[in-house]
């Protein structure tokens, strides 16, 4: 695959490398739960404390990871409508 300023040699076939793999290799995580990194109140935001919004952030993190894991570098060579189909979502939604 050709990069913006020349290119990269891939260690695996493009079909075997997910977008999640690329993001994790460069950013270490795909989604940061902000309350883990920057708690508003250390006592209220501790893992032991009950929090009604934390499960929402965790579920969102999982959905993002699942979506990114399901799209390969090879998939990114397709047109936008095809990529929506590959990702299993309706175009534009």
To the nearest 10 degrees (0 to 180), the angle between helices 19-27 and 54-69 is 120
Q: Which residue has the higher pLDDT, 87 or 92?
A: 87
Report the pLDDT value the prediction gives residue 72, as an integer from 0 to 100. Answer: 95
Q: What is the pLDDT of residues 5-46, one digit of tens each?
A: 777 778 899 999 999 999 999 888 888 887 777 888 878 888
Instruction: Give the phi and the psi of residue 18 in degrees, each rounded to 5.
Output: -90, 160
- The torsion angle over the Cα atoms of residues 59, 60, 65 and 68, rounded to 10 degrees, is 140
> Does the pTM exceed 0.75?
yes
Closest CA to 12 of 23, 22, 4, 27: 22
CA angle 57, 60, 65 (to 5 degrees): 125
């Amino acid at each position: 695959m050709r990069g913006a300023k020349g290119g990269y040699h891939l260690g695996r076939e493009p079909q075997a490398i997910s977008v999640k793999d690329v993001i994790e290799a460069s950013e270490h995580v795909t989604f940061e739960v902000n309350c883990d990194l920057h708690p508003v109140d250390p006592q209220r935001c501790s893992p032991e404390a009950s929090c009604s919004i934390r499960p929402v952030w965790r579920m969102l993190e999982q959905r993002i990871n699942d979506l990114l894991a399901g799209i390969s570098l090879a998939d990114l060579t397709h047109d936008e409508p095809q990529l929506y189909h590959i990702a299993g979502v309706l175009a534009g939604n």
